[in-house]
């Protein structure tokens, strides 16, 4: 069954990109109609389609993610008019629309700057951690080098001692062998 819904969205819905989101949702749900700003702060949506699609659409456009914050959706249903062939944004004058786009861009830029500041702090924190890790690794390598050098010196001294002992044993064996022959 085809129905028509007239929806008034209240909250932070103008100058937030809300109409674009509504248009995409309506097209996704295969609805026809319009979305437009209504003075002073609301957005009006008129859509036609089957009841299931419109109910799903209403859930999709009840957005609470900055910069969009829908506080209320006032919904009324009427008989289908058949006035619409597709769904579109009904735009205001060029100055108003340009101002809205600039407001959206400014908001997005502010969000990007906030994220950039957070990342700079994280990078600074990680840089400090990496410097500490590098220092600790260098200390450990120095200690390991010292232990290996000491071990190497001890091993060389022991090898010289063993070589002398083996030479002495060989000399004794030669004397024992000579005595037995």
Domain ranges of the chain: 2-91
Report the CATH fold assignment for 2-91. Answer: Alpha-Beta Plaits (3.30.70)
The strand pairing partners of 37, in sequence order, are 43
Rounded Cα distance between 36 and 92, Å, is: 8
Q: Average pLDDT of 6-13?
A: 97
Q: Give per-residue burial for 159-178: e unless 16+ CB within 10 Å, then b.
A: eeeeeeeeeeeeeeeeeeee
pTM for the model stands at 0.60
Vertex 106 angle, CA 105 and 110, to 5°: 115
Task: Among 18-22, 25-29, 150-154, name the one with the lowest average pLDDT.
Answer: 150-154
Q: With H, G, I as helix, E, B as strand and everything else as coil, classify residue 63.
A: coil
Give residue-wise pLDDT tens across range 131-168.
887 888 878 877 877 777 777 777 777 777 878 888 88
Give residue-wise pLDDT tens across range 86-126.
999 999 888 888 887 887 788 888 888 988 888 888 887 77
Mean pLDDT of the chain: 88
Q: Of the ranges 20-24, 64-68, 89-93, 118-122, which is most confident?
A: 20-24
Q: Which helix (H) or strand (E) holds 78?
A: strand 68-78
Nearest Cα residue to 9 out of 51, 59, 45, 48: 45
Reply yes or no on whether the pLDDT at 54 is more than 90: yes
Angle between helix 51-61 and helix 18-28 axes, rounded to 10 deg: 150
pLDDT on residue 103: 79
Rounded Cα distance between 108 and 178, Å, is: 100
- Percent of the chain topping pLDDT 70: 98
Reply yes or no on whether the pLDDT at 70 is more than 70: yes
Give the pLDDT band (50/70/90) at residue 43.
very high
Nearest Cα residue to 82 out of 30, 4, 137: 4
């Amino acid at each position: 069954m085809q129905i028509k819904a007239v929806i008034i969205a209240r909250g932070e819905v103008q100058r937030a990109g809300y109409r674009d989101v509504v248009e995409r949702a309506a097209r996704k749900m295969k609805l026809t109609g319009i979305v437009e700003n209504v003075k002073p702060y609301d957005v009006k949506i008129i859509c036609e389609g089957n009841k299931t699609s419109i109910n799903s659409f209403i859930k999709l456009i009840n957005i609470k993610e900055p910069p969009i914050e829908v506080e209320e959706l006032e919904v009324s249903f009427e008989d289908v008019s058949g006035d619409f062939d597709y769904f579109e944004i009904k735009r205001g004058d060029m100055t108003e629309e340009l101002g809205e786009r600039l407001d959206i861009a400014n908001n997005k830029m502010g969000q990007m700057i906030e994220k950039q500041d957070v990342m700079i702090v994280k990078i600074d924190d990680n840089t400090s951690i990496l410097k500490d890790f590098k220092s600790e690794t260098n200390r450990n390598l120095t200690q390991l080098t010292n232990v290996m050098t000491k071990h190497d010196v001890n091993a060389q001294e022991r090898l010289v001692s063993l070589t002398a002992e083996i030479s002495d044993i060989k000399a004794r064996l030669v004397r024992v062998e000579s005595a037995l022959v």
